[in-house]
Amino acid sequence: MASPEERRRIVLNAIVEDYVATREPVGSKAVVERHGLTVSPATIRNDMAQLEEAGLIVQPYTSAGRIPTDAGYRVFVDSLADIKPLSLGERRAIERMLQGAVDLDDVLDRAVRLLAQITQQVAVVQYPSLRRTALRHVELIALSKRMILIVMITDAGRVEQRTFETDSSVSDADLEAIRGAVNEHLTGLQLDGLGKVSDRLLDDSPDRLREVTRKITQLVRQTLLNEVEERVVVAGTGNLSRYNVEFHHSIAPILDVLEEQVVLMKLLASQGEGLHVRIGHEIDAKELSETSVISSGYGNSSDQTIANLGIIGPTRMDYRGAISSVHAIANYLSEILRLN
């Protein structure tokens, strides 16, 4: 037989699960009947009173059952010992959807739409930060005798292009020599490792190629430093209208927040490695005080997070399913980046 403390935990979980499923306040008799408890409704009412005193549930109106508070949802989420695995059908659907993508833009677009569809919430995916990715290859293309196109490819699959004009014409042979030297010295490096290596590259360059090489390495570093590229893609904002009744206030402020790239990136920022759930007033944005944010990092290696993704929805959400979906999409994105 469960101890009183363990039984109260079971009662709280039952209230959360039933309220998420029905959107109706949950009474003691329903808890006993739906969850097969072997105690009387009177005992459950006593447990509910103690849970209410602890601030974990609340009675929305007289003679009603109970609903979870933000604190109650937090205790429930923290009690989830394992992430529920997706079904075989769900995994195959995700694999088909993501593996058919042709480039990084397509991958992220598919991922955010898929996450919104699976969870029925607003989904947000951050582009891999150039600051946290490494150069995979630099391609130099002569557009004319003096105009050069620089194509930078990162290990996250991002492709950036820049053009610049040289002071004098550059031969195909010289351009090939610069391309080889740049890739030899810079490939595999992140932003913080480019400085000294770039200096060595310039020292090793012939005098006639040093100025062109300097401009190329400067453009590469400036591109990786560029904050403008930090952006997110959003899908499923229409799902908010399905949950309009969940919010005491208008959803307009929430929609406004979804237009703010900087705010969204801050919301997704992980508090360390792994998956994170922020509920109600835990979110540092008053417009989102009636929502929950589930986020996870993804990366191009097992120990490096280069960007984040997540969902935003009402506090009354299927946390088990949502956590599983966010975790799964993050893992699939990481796997795709590692394979590219």
Give the CATH number, domain containing residue 147.
3.30.390.60
Based on the domain organization, do 252 and 201 belong to the same domain? no
* Residue with tokens 């005098």, as numbered in its chain: 207
- Residue ranges in the chain assigned as alpha helix (H): 4-22, 28-35, 41-53, 70-78, 88-99, 104-119, 172-186, 194-204, 207-225, 239-242, 252-257, 261-268, 319-339
Instruction: Give percent of the chain above pLDDT 90.
Output: 38
Q: Average pLDDT of 181-204?
A: 79
Q: What is the CATH number of the domain that holds 16?
A: 1.10.10.10
Same domain, 109 and 252: yes
Is pTM beyond 0.75? Reply is yes
Residues 240 and 255 sit within 8 Å (Cβ to Cβ)? yes
Give CA–CA dist 277/305, Å, rounded: 17
Report residue 253's pLDDT band, with 50, 70 and 90 as the boundaries.
confident
Q: What is the rounded CA–CA span in Å between residue 150 and residue 196?
A: 21
Asked if residue 251 and residue 119 are part of one domain, the reply reads: yes
Cα–Cα distances in Å, from 249 out to 44, 74, 145, 168, 266? 32, 22, 62, 63, 23
7-16, 24-33, 47-56, 229-238: least confidently modelled range: 229-238
**pLDDT the model gives residue 302:** 58
- pLDDT above 90 (res 249): no
> What average pLDDT score do residues 257-269 get?
83
On whether both 11 and 46 belong to a single domain, the answer is yes
Same-domain status, 147 and 219: yes
Q: What is the pLDDT of residues 82-136, one digit of tens each?
A: 777 788 888 888 888 887 777 888 989 999 999 999 999 999 999 887 666 778 8
Identify the domain containing residue 209 by its residue range. Answer: 131-228
Has residue 227 got a pLDDT over 60? no
Token pair listed for 224:
């990786």
Per-residue pLDDT at 269 exceeds 80: no
137 and 114 in a common domain: no
Tell whether 157 is covered by a domain. yes
Domain count, the chain: 3
- CA atoms within 13 A of residue 31's CA, in its CB half-sphere: 30
Name the least confident of 172-181, 187-196, 211-220.
187-196
Q: Do 214 and 325 fall into the same domain?
A: no
Is residue 109 domain-shared with residue 139, that is, in the same domain?
Answer: no
Look at residue 46 and tell me if it is in a domain: yes
For all residues of the chain together, what is the average pLDDT?
86
Give the chain's count of helices (H) and strands (E). 13, 10
Please tell me the predicted confidence (pLDDT) of residue 303: 64
Give me the pLDDT at residue 87, please: 81
